[in-house]
Structure 1
Amino acid sequence: MKVRVIGRWGAYPKRGEATAGFLLEVGNHKILLDCGSGVLSVLQNYIELHELTAVFVSHNHFDHMADLGSLQYACLIDMDLKQRDTPLRLLVAKDSKDEWAIPVLKGTIEQEINQDTIVTFEDGLTLTFFRTDHDVFCLGVKISYQGKNLVYTADTRYDESLVPYLRDADLLLTEASFYANFDAARYGHMTSTEAGLLASKAGVKKLLLTHLPHFGEIQVLREEAALMFSGEVVLADLGLQVVL
């Protein structure tokens, strides 16, 4: 199981980079976790778009789904060029109150998911989902394959009820939207120290901080998280790949 940072910024991308997006390569699958602004451009440095087999969309904020429209067009073109044999599967977090929609064009199939959904692929790869505390309906995802577990929280306030979903993960990929002395909950997010505390309570093996702020010295986020978590703490960087 390999995960690569495609986009690491919250709100908007810095020059030449992207907001939330992570490429998971496991078995025969290439799965994109979120598809924020700039993700499609960066992603093509590592794979061709027609190689994608599924996309998980955690919620409907633009920094997590802004490039979905362009991705739909790419899939349409790839189907017509016969570079894609099967439509791309879009796993889109929605609840009964959600009215937002994405265009469903030739080349893509949308599957609405919620916290009770379980997605299992033919080789045993399994995705389960959990609700996070954000300002809109938002799901985190746990990805399990051959005894390895990756958990991605997407956006959330600090919430100890998440611990059972994160417990003993080989890698926890979570946000650190603010520095330790900020009121992150006001914005629906976590601080660096809250991310570290959550990782510590869940007993995860490795912590990867992402959804980074556009101010301050971002290396401080890692130092602050490490005050709360004794395991390895890594700050997301463009193109960084972690192998489990």
Structure 2
Amino acid sequence: MEVVIVQDATAGGELIAESIATLLRRKRDALIGVATGSSPLPIYQALTAKVASGAVDASGARIAQLDEYVGLPAGHPESYRSVVLREVVRPLGLDESAFMGPDGSADDILAACEAYDRALAAAGGVDLQLLGIGTDGHIGFNEPVSSLASRTRIKTLTEQTRVDNARFFEGDIEQVPHHVITQGIGTILEARHLVLLATGEGKAEAVAQTVEGPLAALVPASALQLHPHATVVVDEAAASKLKLADYYRATFAAKPEWQGL
């Protein structure tokens, strides 16, 4: 696992966006897994700027969704399909056909979960998966004590996650669904490159447990320790509880530029 400490969220977004741009220059039709929430927004903004300036051609990119609420009406503005189309697909100038995600309104949710796992495999697998992290260490909607071998499935959200997400529903927790479809940890680990961005002091404990704590289902993000190419990008606030922060700074400063993330 590589840990990169940056000054702020903007710097983290630029660094990761450039890594995605490098991937797209090498593989025009790369499948990019995207996360929702506020943390990855600087990435999408920086990547959109690169596309607008002509620094990278994203026209062949494919976008894969990490998770989805269960039971929101089709077209609901806070369904993750709507969010990804609004924040990633359309700003990059992509057609909706470039997007794939699980069906949270399906009559048979279990079948929809299995279908999405098959669709990801049929698409050749995710080349780069973006991740955020919850204050309790969850990735996707794999809440604490999720199986580290889990596949795409339905999960019940913890009260803390519903509280955290209420800000997207006019501050009303009653509007936040209780259930979601999420890629499992085993599914996430199949991506070729995992990139987690965390910013703010509120994420510091979860980051420390993910990077320097034991591998444990209690901290689902600690599963990144199992991956051969996982990158954790954090701002100074989110890095504040890392014991080896100086080591991470030194190793990244000495890294050859050609190596990238």
TM range (shorter): 0.3 to 0.5
TM-score calculated relative to the size of structure 2? 0.41
* Greater share of residues in strand: 1
TM-score calculated relative to the size of structure 1? 0.44
